[in-house]
């Protein structure tokens, strides 16, 4: 209950309400104010999402708000494959005959073209059990499926009714305008189309889809992302995962979840709230999660620095493109060293070293550059224990900006700086001396998420843009490689297209994990396996190339997703 006239659902959509993720403890500090003025949804005994009236100073709130509580921004990881990963053999009825039957493939993406014949069974009925469209408000809710916090979920019965209608979108108005979700659903769980020589992996699996809504404008502004650019909030993805898991429990079926988006925000340790929540869920049986390694490897958006003991500071040069209205960067420094920065604009205006201290914030105007700089220090970030220096440049002058990174006398003088995803930036915004390593996107740094890099299955080469490991905690990531270059699959309006990206590789993984879960249920006398065990099975059975040393920051723990 709250004093506001708005419902919780209305707060979730309203740009006048800020969204936060917290490590939930019953009776947490500030609970009385939140319940009075906002809305709290407990996702897990340890994690809650709350929505509060947005304050006027939301762009400069890091003095009092832990960075981890602010939702990260996500973008889509998209920019003859069946034989390459060995699926034909396990699909063959004369061998294992696995097709995903009685397993759910959950897809968190841009939606699905539910009228595509690839998502029908052999009797012409839809294999889509549910579509939760986060973008549709005010539609009648079905009591046949678990309820959602917001948006509208459509049941299989409603989808069937729509397919038999001359006006299907009057009944189920959910549309995949982008095509990304339809393509990934087709790779993971599409049926067979002999005319177009296509078959999905878990072709008899039930499909459960969440169409993500756009992130709120205030959050895009906080991270310097143009309002018209497609971006998705961490809170909506957490809600999506929670719903798919509840749906699978209601059906008493295993679920293989695919997440088609990624983020470069955070320290790349695997400690974002989404990654923490996935780690909690993956302690249960009958669930696997596949995620892309990201497409940031060659984009020059990561800088790895190390100050020698005789260095006063290290200069980090950033080229800012014409038309770059705003951007943010995050410097993460390893404890126990304390880091600080100074900034030099292309015009030579100098912001001297800002002394590091708890809760330090500065908003500086540079008259010659006509730019505003926001700098915030979090000396001990809540969930990593590392130091975070958050910088936002507003109206930055095009040209070379220099960030002078200082360190105290500690011996661990290593730091990383990340810019946002490439699709959130202008093409010629990049670090001059970038490092392609440690460019795995969230949630791919989580320990037992299947983090997939992409390779060309026709010539065996790695996808040039693929994110690389290891993560900041030196954990081996990515896990495996799967086809992700020029892959053939379903587009919109029943056409077939070719797509590249690590999300394609993750869709392959989601389908294969569904087949494994089906096998695990069929052979239950062997015991039900947990995610870490399943991950290990695939490590052991993956193909390896003699020319590489494993584990490998490019190819992962192993090479190709499955072997014969």
Residue 511, domain CATH: 3.40.50.200
Q: Are residues 375 and 515 in the same domain?
A: no
- Is there a domain that residue 283 lies in? yes
pLDDT digits (tens, 9 = 90+) for 117-129: 999 999 999 999 9
Q: Are residues 201 and 177 in the same domain?
A: yes
Q: Are residues 180 and 290 in the same domain?
A: yes
Q: Count how many domains the chain has.
A: 2
pLDDT digits (tens, 9 = 90+) for 464-521: 999 998 888 888 899 999 999 999 999 999 999 999 999 999 999 999 999 999 999 9
Q: What is the pLDDT of residue 84?
A: 45
Q: Are residues 406 and 320 in the same domain?
A: yes
Q: What is the pLDDT of residue 320?
A: 98
Q: Are residues 186 and 275 in the same domain?
A: yes
Q: What is the pLDDT of residue 476?
A: 87
- Is there a domain that residue 37 lies in? no
Q: Are residues 307 and 425 in the same domain?
A: yes
Do 440 and 477 contact (CB within 8 A), yes or no? yes
Q: What is the pLDDT of residue 398?
A: 96
Q: Are residues 139 and 286 in the same domain?
A: yes
Q: Are residues 373 and 506 in the same domain?
A: no
Q: Are residues 312 and 337 in the same domain?
A: yes
Dihedral sign for Cα 456, 462, 463, 469, please.
Answer: positive
Q: Are residues 313 and 447 in the same domain?
A: no
Do 455 and 502 contact (CB within 8 A), yes or no? no
CB atoms within 10 A of CB 229: 15
Q: What is the pLDDT of residue 391?
A: 97
- Is there a domain that residue 178 lies in? yes
Q: Are residues 469 and 389 in the same domain?
A: no
Long-range contacts of 248-253 (CB under 8 A, 24+ apart): 248/104, 248/106, 248/208, 248/286, 248/287, 250/145, 250/146, 251/104, 251/129, 251/206, 253/102, 253/103, 253/104, 253/206, 253/286
Domain carrying residue 312:
302-431
- Is there a domain that residue 212 lies in? yes
**Domain edge (last residue) among 380, 407, 431:** 431
- Is there a domain that residue 481 lies in? yes
Q: Which of 411, 415, 412, 394 is nearest to 341 (CA)?
A: 415
CB atoms within 10 A of CB 366: 19
- Is there a domain that residue 250 lies in? yes
Q: What is the pLDDT of residue 26?
A: 60
Q: Are residues 167 and 277 in the same domain?
A: yes
Q: What is the pLDDT of residue 212?
A: 98
- Is there a domain that residue 28 lies in? no
Tell whether pTM > 0.85.
yes
Question: CA-CA distance, 137 to 151, in Å (whole number)?
Answer: 5
Q: What is the pLDDT of residue 359?
A: 77
Q: What is the pLDDT of residue 94?
A: 45
- Is there a domain that residue 190 lies in? yes
pLDDT tens, residue order, the chain (564 aa) = 345 688 999 999 999 999 999 887 665 555 556 667 899 999 998 899 999 999 999 999 898 899 999 999 999 987 634 344 444 455 555 455 688 899 999 999 999 999 999 999 999 999 999 999 999 998 988 899 999 999 999 999 999 999 999 999 999 999 999 999 999 999 999 999 999 999 999 999 999 999 999 999 999 999 999 999 999 999 999 999 999 999 999 999 999 999 999 999 999 999 999 999 999 999 999 999 999 999 999 999 999 999 988 888 999 999 999 999 999 999 999 888 899 999 999 999 999 999 888 878 889 998 887 899 999 999 988 888 899 999 999 999 999 999 999 998 766 789 999 999 999 999 999 999 999 999 999 999 999 999 999 999 888 899 999 999 888 888 889 999 999 999 999 999 999 999 999 999 999 999 999 999 999 999 887 888 999 999 998 888 777 776 777 788 888 875 444 432
CATH (domain of 361): 2.60.120.1290
Q: What is the pLDDT of residue 97?
A: 65
Dihedral sign for Cα 149, 151, 152, 153, please.
Answer: negative
């Amino acid at each position: 209950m709250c004093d506001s006239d708005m419902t919780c659902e209305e707060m979730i959509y309203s740009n006048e309400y800020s969204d936060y993720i917290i490590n939930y403890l019953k009776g947490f500090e500030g609970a009385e104010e939140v319940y009075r003025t906002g809305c709290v949804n407990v996702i897990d005994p340890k994690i809650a999402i709350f929505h509060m009236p947005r304050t006027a100073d939301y762009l400069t709130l890091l003095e009092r708000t832990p960075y981890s509580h602010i939702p990260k921004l996500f973008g889509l990881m998209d920019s003859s494959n069946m034989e390459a990963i060995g699926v034909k053999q396990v699909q063959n009825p004369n061998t294992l005959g696995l097709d995903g039957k009685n397993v759910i493939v959950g897809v968190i993406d841009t939606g699905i073209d539910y009228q595509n014949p690839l998502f029908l069974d052999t009797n012409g009925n839809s294999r889509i059990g549910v579509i939760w469209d986060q973008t549709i408000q005010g539609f009648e809710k079905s009591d046949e499926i678990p309820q959602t916090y917001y948006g509208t979920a459509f049941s299989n019965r409603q989808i069937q009714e729509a397919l038999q209608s001359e006006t299907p979108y009057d009944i189920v108005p959910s549309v995949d305008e982008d095509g990304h979700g339809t393509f990934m659903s087709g790779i993971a769980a599409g049926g067979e189309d002999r005319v177009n020589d296509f078959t999905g992996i878990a072709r008899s699996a039930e499909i459960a889809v969440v169409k993500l809504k756009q992130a709120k404008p205030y959050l895009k502004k906080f991270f310097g992302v143009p309002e018209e650019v497609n971006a998705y909030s961490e809170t909506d993805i957490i809600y999506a995962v929670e719903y798919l898991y509840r749906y699978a429990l209601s059906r008493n079926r295993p679920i293989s979840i695919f997440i088609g988006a990624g983020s470069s925000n955070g320290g790349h340790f695997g400690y974002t709230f989404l990654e923490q929540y996935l780690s909690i869920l993956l302690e249960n049986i009958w669930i696997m999660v596949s995620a892309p390694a990201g497409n940031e490897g060659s984009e020059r958006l990561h800088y790895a620095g190390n100050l020698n003991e005789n260095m006063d500071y290290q200069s980090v040069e950033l080229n800012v493109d014409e038309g770059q209205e705003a951007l943010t960067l995050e410097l993460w420094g390893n404890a126990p060293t304390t880091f600080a920065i100074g900034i030099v604009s292309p015009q030579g205006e100098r912001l001297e070293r800002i002394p590091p201290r708890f809760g330090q914030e500065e908003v500086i105007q540079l008259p010659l550059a006509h730019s505003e700089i926001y700098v915030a220090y979090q000396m001990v970030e809540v969930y990593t224990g590392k130091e975070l220096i958050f910088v936002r440049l507003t109206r930055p002058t095009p040209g070379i900006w220099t960030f002078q990174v200082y360190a105290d006398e500690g011996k661990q003088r290593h730091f990383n700086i990340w810019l946002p995803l490439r699709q959130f930036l202008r093409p010629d915004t990049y670090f001059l001396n970038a490092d392609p390593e440690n460019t795995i996107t969230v949630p791919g740094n989580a320990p037992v998420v299947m983090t997939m890099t992409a390779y060309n299955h026709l010539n065996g080469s790695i996808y040039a843009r693929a994110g690389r490991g290891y993560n900041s905690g030196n954990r081996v990531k990515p896990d495996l490689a799967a086809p992700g270059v020029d892959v053939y699959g379903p587009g919109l309006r029943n056409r077939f297209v070719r797509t590249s990206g690590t999300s394609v590789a993750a869709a392959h993984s989601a389908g294969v994990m569904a087949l494994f879960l089906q096998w695990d249920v069929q052979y239950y006398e062997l015991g039900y396996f947990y995610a870490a065990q399943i991950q290990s099975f695939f490590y052991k059975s993956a193909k390896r190339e003699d020319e590489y040393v494993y584990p490998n920051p490019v190819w992962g723990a192993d090479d190709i997703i499955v072997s014969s």
